Structures are given as structure tokens and as C-alpha cells.
Amino acid sequence: MNMPEPPASIPNQTGAPERSFGPDRRGFRDIAGNAWSYHRATCRWPYNASHTSDDRPETPREFPDVPSIALPPPDHPAGDFTTLTVQRASCRHFTADPLSLGEVSCLASATYGTTGHADLGAVLLPERPVPSGGALYPLELYFLTRQGGPCPPGVSHYHPYTHVLEQLRDVALPKQYIQYLFMGQQWFADAAAVAVLTAVPRRTARKYGDRGYRYLLLEAGHAAQNLVLAATALGLGTCCGGGFFDDELAGLLYADVETEVPVYAVAIGHPASNDRNTGRNAL
């Protein structure tokens, strides 16, 4: 990639503006040294800003030998974006009601489904509802379902091209186990389902190197926001979280941590209260 030449000069500035700090004046490096090291190592300057041309998209993960559940076509309820963003609030109190297949269909489609195809001549590229660095789409979407109902309990993987749930584990997930897996957060155990976003880092790293890890985390945020807004439109409650035991969650998903890693989770269910403050407060 050809980089533009830097400007000959930067406009003069007589002095830096005043900044207001809180009582804790420690720097990023002092508080989280490993994170600081990664951030600085993946900064870009003119001498290291190029990337490779390896932008071949990979197909999503697929499990052809397991039972699958065909989801109905998504019937997204109408909702004004501004209204949905105002209505959205974290929910930590859920009823025991399971999710319907129609609700799962809408959530999966809005999170990481397909929205059409881009004809690039030699390649017909499926489009997704989130921006993705290089259109490489490194994420995978799973559902942990505890309650019985239309969506059977266990672990399912969402395949976006066929819009089906692939049943990886047809087994009831004990409430205590889910709570343990998510580091004691009871609302994950109480939820009808937990959506888990994983990433396959090589899909972005092949093109962008170590900075590709930044891009896949940003993409996970885009996907999770789509999920929570779609859930709000359906009258469902959600609570996003990044606290989980990484390797144990990966093992539950049959994900090899050398190639695929969990990055984000969202508890989903029917709110036990219509009051925002009651719903969001932890027990």
C-alpha cells in the first residue's frame, strides 16, 4: 500500500491546552503494563504503516456433521434508531421464559447474518450488518441456551450463510456452571440464552498483522451493539460482559484457543421488570 508523504510542516502552536486530571495521575503503562505494551507495539507510523495484500476472505466456521435447526426468516420489528438507543439499558433480572426461534432468528441475523452480496467481479462477497476491516469478518456467533423450549438447551453455532443453528452440545447447562463460567455473574445464569462472539484472529492478521487484533475487537463491539438494539426492539433485555474464563468457555464451544478465541458475551432474556433501574441493578 502506497503511503502519502507527510506534510512539510505542522502549523505552529504557542502552547499545549490545559488538561484536567482526576486524583489518580498514573499513566496507562503504570496501571496496565501489558495492555500498554500491546497498544504501543501496534501503533502505526510512516515506516510500519503498510500491510500485505492477502485479503482473501475465509468462509465461516461450519459443523456439517451435527444436527441443525433451521431458523425462520427474520421478521425484524420496526423501530426508530434514536428510540431504541434511548430504551436500551442493561438488564440483570430475567424471567424463566425461553426465547422463541423467531427471536433467535432476528438476533442472529442482526448480529452477524448476511444482508446481501457484493459483486466484485471474480468474487461474490456476502455482506454483513457490521463494518469489518478488509471485509474479512473474523467473528463467529454461538448461543448457550439453558432453558428448554423451541431453542433446545445446550450449545449452538450460528451459520450465517444458511441461517441455521448447528447443535454442538445437546445437553442442559447447569445454572451453577454458567454462573461459574462467567466469573460469578448471576444474570448470565438466569438469562434464557447467552450469545458468545469469538474471533479467528488469522482472518485479519494475514492482512493487517498484529494491528488486526484491534480491528476484530472493534468489530465485536459493532456486532454486540446490533444485538442489543435488536433485542430492545423485540422487548428483550440484555447485559453485555467480557468477564469469563477464556479457555473453559472456548472448550465448551469446541474452539481451539490457538486459532479461535472468545471475545464478548451478551446475556439475553425476557426482563423481569419494566423498570430500567430495577432491571439493571445487580442482585
In single-letter form, the type of residue at position 69 comes to I
67-87 pLDDT, tens per residue? 999 999 999 998 889 999 999
Cβ contacts of 159 within 8 Å, gap of 6 or more: 60, 61, 62, 63, 68, 165, 166
pTM, 2 dp: 0.91
Task: Give the DSSP per-residue string, 10-53.
Answer: ----SSPPP----S----HHHH-HHHHHHHHHT---GGG----S
What is the pLDDT confidence band of residue 227, given thresholds at 50, 70 and 90? very high
pLDDT tens figures, 1-60: 566 676 666 666 667 777 777 777 788 888 898 999 999 989 988 877 777 767 778 889
pLDDT digits (tens, 9 = 90+) for 197-210: 999 999 999 999 99
Cell of 49: 504503516
Rounded Cα distance, 151 and 69, in Å? 8
DSSP reduced 3-state for 213: helix
Which domains occur in the chain, in start order? 69-280 (3.40.109.10)
